[in-house]
Amino acid sequence: MNKTLLSFGHGYSARALAARLVPQGWTIYGTTRKEARFAALEGEGITPVLWPDGDLSTAFESASHLLISAGPDAGGDPILTRFRDRIVDMAPRLEWAGYLSTTGVYGDHQGGWVDEATPLTPSTRRGQMRVDAEGDWRSVPGLPLHIFRLAGIYGPGRGPFEKVRQGTARRIIKPGQVFSRIHVEDIAQVLEASIKRPDPGAIYNLCDDDPAPPQDVIGHAAKLLGLPLPPEVDFETAEMSPMARSFYAESKRVSNDRIKDELGVKLIYPDYRRGLEALLRAGG
């Protein structure tokens, strides 16, 4: 049976998944806001559809799987706002649906551990919007929904090397601050494993084994490049955008036991050191 994925918000993580599925014969429709991206997506074997006004009728009719990577906005989840009725209609015949959320839904735990059973207590507006969006997707009757809560994403084109090379990187110091992170290839392998082993209603944290202070990651990138350590800057006095500062409002360590125990995943990059070393070998 032909497998067809309708991918809303076909960006960084979705493209990594598609790179695994297309060679297996999958048909993938991916939405994008920019027509200029069409050629690149077509080169990856994707049928691009312009969001929000492109023609998705064929994709809706043929999809066996659904992936939602687009985030919510002030008006709620943009996909459900526009296409709830279509999604309700298609839900019973879908084999799998995945929603990419964030570990920001757990809020601040002052460096403590969280897992999928931890109550959702977001401390930012973005986190609360994600909690609301998760609930909206769970409310679609008959949808075989899987929720993936992603830690900080890095990978090709999203590593710290360029800023270190340019001398613009800083080691922001906030005592006790730790973040979890995940390489995009590990996101892709978890999604593929879930597709092969559907468990509607399941929630998974996607992160590596080594929550770490952000300054350690920058420091290791500099070490790999053979460059001096970027300067330390105190968080309280650092010049940062409101968006960047908001990430430091939460500190937690995220457990990834479930992706290992239930999906049999073995991480490709179980810590940032191996992830950064691989990025550098591939050209940084």
Looking at residue 107, its amino acid is G
Is residue 251 within 8 A of residue 189, CB to CB? The reply is no
Confirm if 130 and 147 have CB atoms less than 8 A apart: no
Selection from 188, 150, 128, 160 nearest residue 279 by Cα: 160
How far is the C-alpha of 73 from the C-alpha of 19, rounded, in Å?
A: 28
Q: Rounded to an integer, what distance in angstroms lies between the CA atom of residue 252 and that of residue 218?
A: 19
- pLDDT tens-digit readout, 103-119: 999 999 999 999 999 99
Token look-up 């973040």 returns 179
Q: Which residues contact 34 (CB under 8 A, 6 or more apart)?
A: none
CA 263 centroid distance within chain: 18
Q: In angstroms, rounded to a whole number, what is the distance separating the alpha carbons of residues 18 and 25? A: 11
Provide the β-strand partners of residue 171: 232
pLDDT of residue 188: 98
Confidence tier at 214 by pLDDT (50, 70, 90): very high
Distance, CA of 176 to CA of 264 (rounded, Å)? 32
Tokens at residue 196, please? 């092969």
pLDDT tens-digit map of 24-45: 999 999 999 999 999 999 999 9
Contact 102, 150 (CB under 8 A): yes
Q: Which two tokens stand for residue 59?
A: 């994709």
Q: What is the total residue count of the chain? A: 284
**pLDDT tens string 50-65:** 999 999 999 999 999 9
Alpha-carbon distance 267 to 40, whole Å?
28
- Which of 73-77, 170-174, 212-216, 280-284 is predicted least confidently? 280-284
Whether residue 52 has a cis bond before it, omega within 30° of 0: yes
Sequence-distant (≥ 6) Cβ neighbours of residue 127 within 8 angstroms: 102, 104, 105, 107, 250
Mean pLDDT of the chain: 96
pLDDT grade, residue 247 (50/70/90)? confident
| Of 284, 164, 55, residue with least CA distance to 47 | 55
- Minimal CA–CA distance to 135: which of 214, 207, 228, 72? 72
DSSP state of 212: B
Q: Which two tokens stand for residue 87?
A: 């999604």
pLDDT attached to residue 1: 54
Q: And the tokens for 185?
A: 């290839």
Q: Which of 188, 159, 163, 186 is nearest to 283 (CA)?
A: 159
